[in-house]
Structure 1
Amino acid sequence: MANAVKQAIKAGKSVVNGWLAIPSGFSAEVMAQCGFDSVTVDMQHGVQDYLSAVACFQGISAARNDVTPMVRVPWNEPGIIGKVLDAGAYGVICPMVNTPEEAAALVYSCRYPPQGGRSNGPIRVGMYGEGGPYQETANQEILVIPMIETRQAVANLDAILDVPGIDGIYVGPSDLGFSYGMVPKLDREEPEILEIYDKMLKATKKRGQFAGIHNGTGAYAKKAIGLGFQLVTLANDSGLMMMGAKAQIAAAR
């Protein structure tokens, strides 16, 4: 299938991304019906394993066929990257990519030959190819997105972006601040961090790439879009559930 998020970003639009920490296909189905452009299964810090990720992809597909399923893999490791792509992910967000060599390894794991070394075997996602076999379009449709979240990655930003096959970057504000000796949190206002965001936005725009960022609130996500981020994530399913429950409990009491 065509990657609607990739098409929107190429058209200069911004997309709103959901985040799944809960290992439940039903939770994924509910989130996919809420209006997100994409929904990402978090296998790094979410309570997700491979089987729950597959169930979440199925829940997303059952809810809406215009919501792009994506994944944050636990690490830059070809085995799990290949498996989640075969299961249905159309975007791979990879944590802690700090060097161009690590970025090149990520691309290699995500792309079929000759652009990469991904093994053939799209056991689930192959059923959803349109306009020909999945293998003919996968290299063009799948988003490859390294996370920039350390001082080292910021220093190597230009070299990482220059790696062929990188579509964009994704900012992890908590780890980024942590790397600079700050308290880990999402919606950052420190001038030093905002300067880094500006550097990222200019560097990606110059190359025709995009920048994404994780946000704690919709208000900050709106600010991030105003800054130039084209992919903004709103918290995660468990966090949104907690915020909603607390608000209603407070109203009842």
Structure 2
Amino acid sequence: MKKPAHLRSLRLRWARSGRPLLGAWCMLPDRFAAEAVASLDFDFLCVDAQHGLIDYRDVAQTLQALELGEAAPVVRVPWNDPGIIGKVLDAGAMSVIVPMVNSADDARAVVAAARYAPGGSRSFGPVGIGWRDGPSYLGRTNDEVAIIVMIETVAALRNVDQIAAVPGIDALFLGPFDLSLSLGLEPGDNDGAALFDDAIDTVLHSCRTHNLKAGILSSRMVAPRRVTQGFDMISVTMDVQALSRAMADDLDTVKSQLGAAVTSRN
């Protein structure tokens, strides 16, 4: 059954929800894993084609699996390239996250790749999503597809207001690991370090100034702080980490009870 547009579009969800959207990162090239994640009540699910173990075929199949749920399907592409941006949108991504956007020119290239003429230069051929949505896709895509660019370098911070001012950009997405490295810090969430805190404030201020949404890669421990800070799109877990953590917890639970169980058996 075809789902209502607001269940698949970050742009429409932002307009209607009035709260931060919480999501998960899909990094495993496994359709069944994607189906399991899709069954959960996330607002968005991001298929990570940059750092995940996922190629284009996996992206297309994972997007099909995510159709079983109600989360908005997002793809982080490997790089700022019009070919791959167009292909993930053709496959069914309703939002695209583009890494390492360091200038207004980089941002304009993203918009051009993700929008059809006259607003961009995306080639028309939505084979995957076209079968799902039919002829109405062309008329709806500019309203439904969110364009999200990552701010994750010192150069991007220096140019963040110019990047945010580019017409067609919907959100800035802060990448804490690469940004920390660029700032000379250890990769991770470096809250409390002045350089890191200032970078977060800079991105959030730019988003507010230019009426954009602010996103960030996060975790279950840090996400509540990101909500308080004012982020609108927050990842709270990754499939591979959640799987590893849950299995480790189960193993530790049994090990902690093993002594009593052995004594009882004997």
TM-score (normalizing by structure 2): 0.90
* Structure 2 contact 150–174 (Cα < 8 Å) conserved: yes
Q: Deviations over 1:128-161 (max 9, x none)?
A: 337x520111112111011000000000000000
Residue of 168, 171, 175 corresponding to 2:174: 171
2:26 aligned partner: 20
Q: Deviations over 1:101-120 (max 9, x none)?
A: 00000000000111100000
2:54 aligned partner: 48
Deviation at 1:8, TM superposition (A): 2.9
1:116 and 2:128 aligned? no
* Structure 1 contact 20–40 (Cα < 8 Å) conserved: yes
Paired with 2:127 and 2:90, the residues of 1 have a C-alpha distance of 6
Letter in 2 for 1:251: T
Deviation at 1:202, TM superposition (A): 1.8
1:126 aligned partner: 130
1:229 aligned partner: 231
2:99 aligned partner: 95
Deviation at 1:84, TM superposition (A): 0.5
* Structure 1 contact 17–39 (Cα < 8 Å) conserved: yes
Residue of 156, 160, 163 corresponding to 1:157: 160
2:74 aligned partner: 70
Letter in 1 for 2:251: I
Paired with 2:62 and 2:35, the residues of 1 have a C-alpha distance of 7
1:180 aligned partner: 183
Residue of 17, 31, 45 corresponding to 2:37: 31
Deviation at 1:246, TM superposition (A): 1.4
Deviation at 1:25, TM superposition (A): 1.3
Letter in 2 for 1:52: D
1:202 and 2:205 aligned? yes
Letter in 2 for 1:213: I
Letter in 2 for 1:202: H
1:139 and 2:142 aligned? yes
Which consecutive unaligned segments of at least 5 residues does structure 2 have?
256-266
* Structure 1 contact 187–220 (Cα < 8 Å) conserved: no
Moved more, 66-75 or 185-194: 185-194
Letter in 2 for 1:107: V
* Structure 2 contact 94–145 (Cα < 8 Å) conserved: yes
* Structure 1 contact 42–73 (Cα < 8 Å) conserved: yes
* Structure 2 contact 45–71 (Cα < 8 Å) conserved: yes
* Structure 2 contact 11–143 (Cα < 8 Å) conserved: no
* Structure 1 contact 90–141 (Cα < 8 Å) conserved: yes
Deviation at 1:252, TM superposition (A): 1.3
Residue of 186, 193, 196 corresponding to 2:196: 193
Moved more, 230-239 or 105-114: 230-239
1:106 aligned partner: 110
**Larger Rg over CA atoms:** 2
Which consecutive unaligned segments of at least 5 residues does structure 1 have?
none
Q: Deviations over 1:20-40 (max 9, x none)?
A: 110111111111112111111
Paired with 2:191 and 2:77, the residues of 1 have a C-alpha distance of 24
Q: Deviations over 1:161-185 (max 9, x none)?
A: 0000000111110000000111111
Q: Deviations over 1:60-91 (max 9, x none)?
A: 00x21x21111000000011111100000011
Moved more, 149-158 or 218-227: 218-227
Moved more, 181-190 or 101-110: 181-190
Q: Deviations over 1:219-253 (max 9, x none)?
A: 31111011100100123110111111112211111
The CA RMSD measured in Å over matched residues stands at 1.4
Paired residue total: 249
Letter in 2 for 1:209: L
